[in-house]
Copies of this chain bind each other. A is one copy, B any other.
Amino acid sequence: MPGSTFGELFRVTNFGESHGPAIGCVIDGCPPGLALSEADIQPELDRRRPGTSRHVTQRNEPDAVEILSGVYEGLTTGTPIALLIRNTDQRSKDYGNLLDTFRPGHADYTYWRKYGHRDPRGGGRSSARLTAPMVAAGAVAKKWLHEHHGTRFVGWMGALGDTEIPFEDEAEIPRNPFFAPNAAIVPQLEAQMDALRKAGDSVGARIEVRARGVPVGLGEPLFDKLDADIAYAMMGINAVKGVEIGSGFATVREHGSEHGDELTPEGFASNHAGGVLGGISTGQELVVRIAIKPTSSIRLPRASIDRAGRPTVVETHGRHDPCVGIRATPIAEAMLALVVMDHALRLRAQCGDVRLPVPPIAGARP
C-alpha cells in the first residue's frame, strides 16, 4: 500500500535515497531453480549507469550489485532475493538551502507538503537513481521469461525533442549513447545535446519499448488488464507524462474498419492493438511508447518560492542529464519485463490447467 512494492506475484520492494548509504530491492516470489548470479544483473545496470557518455550525468557510480539472499549454489531457492547497491559518489555539501527551496518541475514542494520532512540530497527518494534496483529486478524477470517463454525485450529512442528518429536498424541501438536505432542520425543528436548543455537547458524524449514472444493470455479482464498494468508501470518511471499502447493517440482518428486487426489462419494481419485485446495479450509483439519530460534541473534561472512562501530564484548547477530520456530505455524495458513476468505467474495460478478443446492457432502469434 505505501507504494514501494511493485507487482503481485513477482513482487519487487524498492528502498533507498539518491545520497543515502545504499539503494536496492527485495524480489519476492521468483520461481525456484533459475540460475542466477550478479553477472546476470550487472550488464543491465551498466546500460543505465551514469557517466558513460558526455550526454548524461557525470556522477561516477559503479552501481555494483550484491545478491544478499535467495540464491544457493547458483540457483534461486524461491525465497526473497535481496539486491544491494551501495551509493559511493555522494557529494558532501550543505543541502540546507536546497531543503528550503522548491525547484520548479521537481518533487520538492509535494514531498514537503506530504511528509513535512524530506531528504533533499540529490532528490532523495524522488531521484531517477531509484530506477537502478528496478533495472536489476528486471534483469531477473528477463532471464526467467527468456528461458521459459523465449520472451525478448527491446527499446529505443523514437524522438529527442523535435528530432524524430526513424527506425532503421535494431543492431545500432547498443552502439550509441542514445539507444537510437539509426546510425546516421547520431551526429545530429550529439549536436543537439551539446547545444542544450551550452544553453543550460534540457529537452524531452519519446521512448519505444517492445516485448516479443509474449505468452497469450496475460492480463486480467477488468482492472489488472495487461495494458493498464503497463501504463501504471511506465507512468511510474520518473519524468514520464504519457503512455501509449499500439496505435495509441493516433487511434483517435482511426476508423473501426482499419483499427481492428483481422485474423487469418497464419495469424493477425496487423497489430494496431499493440499486442493486447480486452486487456489480455494476443501473443503478438507488445508495443509501448512513453513521453518523457525535459530534465527539471537546468542552469537557467527559474522563479520559485521558499518554505516561508517568499519569492526566490533557482539555478541548478552540478551533474545532471540534459535529457533524462537518454537513460530511460533500459528502465522502460525492465518495467515492461516486470509486468510481463508478474502476469506470467498470475496466468499460471488461475489457468494453469486450461486445456483448449482444439489446438491453439499456431499462426496467431506472428
Contact = CB atoms under 8 A, between A and B. Distances in A.
Interface in A334-359: 345-358
B248 A241 contact: yes
Pick from A114, A243, A291 the residue with the most CB of B within 10 Å: A114
A361 B309 contact: yes
Contact of A282 (B110, B236, B348): B110
Copies in the complex: 4
Contacts of A13: 5, 13, 26, 28, 80
Interface residues of A, number: 166
Nearest to A344: B349
A91 interface: no
Contact of A244 (B1, B241, B259, B347): B241
B3 A356 contact: no
Pick from A81, A161, A294, A304 the residue with the most CB of B within 10 Å: A294
Nearest to A353: B31
Given A30-B350, A105-B256, A203-B256, 11 more contacts: A1-B29, A17-B69, A24-B68, A31-B353, A31-B354, A79-B124, A113-B356, A228-B235, A232-B235, A241-B249, A263-B303
29 contacts: A1-B349, A2-B220, A3-B28, A4-B222, A5-B28, A5-B223, A16-B80, A24-B68, A30-B350, A31-B351, A103-B260, A105-B256, A106-B278, A107-B278, A107-B280, A109-B282, A159-B252, A201-B257, A206-B252, A227-B241, A231-B234, A231-B243, A243-B243, A252-B291, A260-B298, A262-B302, A264-B305, A305-B364, A307-B357
